[in-house]
Structure 1
Amino acid sequence: MTSAREEVLRRVRTALGETRAPAPQVARDYRATDDRPAGVLLDVLVDRLEDYKASVLRCGPDDVAATVTAALDAGLGTGWTPASVVAAPGLAEAWRPGGLDTDDDRPPVQLAERAAAVTAVAVAIAETGTLVLDGTPACGRRALSLLPDCLVCVVTADQVVGGVPEGLARLDPLRPLTMISGPSATSDIELERVEGVHGPRMLVVVLVS
């Protein structure tokens, strides 16, 4: 006796016949780079992120740690403590406020108890307002960006590209990529927006330029 799967596949093969047409070539004539000046791309990224209800704080290279502190104040209020925040293990020391805990592959249930996480990004796509984390030490494991209620991401100007093709060209497709466009949100049939269902309710971006 043949299984239902085998029967379906047999009928598909019969319908296709012995000679199968080669797969058509995929058109690659889409725009792969963005010629807009870097300053314009940064403004576009900020506009998209804020449209998605993320907060953006801009700073210079020497003020990152202080701005990360301000970002945590914005996300958690001024009463947060370093013990309530966990940072990606490879996050630059110069970007860390004093006393932040470092993620050490603790069980996810313990990560969920933290109020916020601080990570870097692999690339930021201006046109779509998307931050991409790739699981490297600076970005941390995927759970780090999903379980705490507030996520602070540090983005440097040289990581910002115009469009998706340019962003993907910078990434290793074999890495565990997490693409973030604003805080976690969904809506029901009545279009009632609910935040924090499957990720952080708050996203604060520190843009270094």
Structure 2
Amino acid sequence: MSNSKKEMLNAIRKAISDVPENEKPDDIEILRTYRQEGDLPGNEIVNLFMERVGEYKATVKRVAQKDLLNVVDESCQKENVKRLVIPEGFRQEFLPTTVTPLFDFTDKPLSHLELDESDGVITTCAQAVAQTGTIILNAGNGQGRRALTLVPDYHLCLVHEDQILHLIPEGFAALEESIKKGRRPITFISGPSATSDIELSRVEGVHGPRRLDVIIYK
């Protein structure tokens, strides 16, 4: 056993040394005195979400649903997207004819190589949180499995205004049913993939797409 592992285990033992052996997690009340509900009106929530998403070096636009197809087309052309991954359940009316769709179905999933050779992926989302500019996926219709938003270099995400919540606790509450009943994997996205682990030098695209476009529609 390495010294670092010993130190970690010793720290854990010390932290729980005063816990009675017969104590169960539900025996202790967890104080939740933090804010659990937001108080911003709808339009301000959307504006805050746009501001926070922009801070992550993602591109964010707000459009009417009637213009959504044209904006999706423009985004794909801007990013030179020709081969676009389409999750199961994605609405076909939002898919431009200028791209070659690569459909990912449950009974016929794309290989990791096919995902890597694509130009990007388009998805919807489960929820979004304005407080942190976070997009939440839960593998529902139009979102696909996790690999779809981890392997391609470009992610175009469609967010309906009604899906944007103010605070993080509201986001968790909205996902509670899909987690407990559906046992779905949850993915939180706050801007393009990036890390500064090595000498505090920012590197993008390590754990997912280097480029993220977000289109908010109503």
Q: Same fold (TM over 0.5)?
A: yes
Q: In 2, are the aligned partners of 1:49 and 1:56 still within 8 Å (CA)?
A: yes
Paired amino acid for 1:88: P
Residue-by-residue CA offset, 1:151-191 (whole Å, 9 max, x unaligned): 00000000000011101111122210011000000114432
Residue 96 of structure 2: aligned partner: 97
> Where in structure 2 are there 5+ consecutive unaligned residues?
1-8
- Alignment partners' CA distance in 2, 1:73 and 1:134: 28
SS at match of 2:117: coil
Among residues 56, 60, 64, which one is paired with 1:56 in the alignment?
60
Q: Which residue of 1 aligns with 2:4?
A: none
Residue of structure 1 equivalent to 2:213: 204
For normalisation by structure 2, the TM-score amounts to: 0.81
Match of 1:186 among 195, 198, 218: 195
Counterparts of 1:139 and 1:59, CA distance in 2? 20
Task: Tell whether the 8 Å contact from 1:132 to 1:179 is kept in structure 2 after alignment.
Answer: yes
From the superposition, tell whether residues 17 and 120 of structure 1 become closer, same or farther in structure 2 (CA, over 3 Å): closer
Is 1:128 the counterpart of 2:144? The answer is: no
Q: How does 1:57-76 map to 2 (within 5 A)?
A: 57-74=61-78, 76=79
Structure 1 residue ranges without an equivalent (≥5):
1-7
**Identical-residue share of aligned pairs (%):** 36
Q: Does 1:141 align with 2:145?
A: yes
Name the amino acid aligned to 1:85: L
Q: Which residue of 2 aligns with 1:175?
A: 184
Corresponding residue SS for 2:89: coil
- Work out the CA distance in 2 between the residues paired with 1:70 and 1:48: 23
Distance apart, 1:112 and its partner CA: 1.1
Q: RMSD value over aligned CA atoms?
A: 2.0
Aligned to 2:6: none
Aligned residues: 192
- Structure 1 residue 140: Cα displacement: 0.7
Q: CA deviation at 1:45?
A: 0.5
Please state whether the residue corresponding to 1:112 is helix, strand or coil. helix
Q: 1:17 to 1:181 in 2, by over 3 A?
A: closer
Query: Contact 1:187–1:193 at 8 Å: present in 2 too?
Result: yes
- CA distance in 1 between counterparts of 2:210 and 2:66 reads 28
Report the CA distance shift for 1:20/1:134 in structure 2 as closer, same or farther (over 3 A): same
1:40 equivalent in alignment to 2:44: yes
Amino acid at match of 1:208: Y
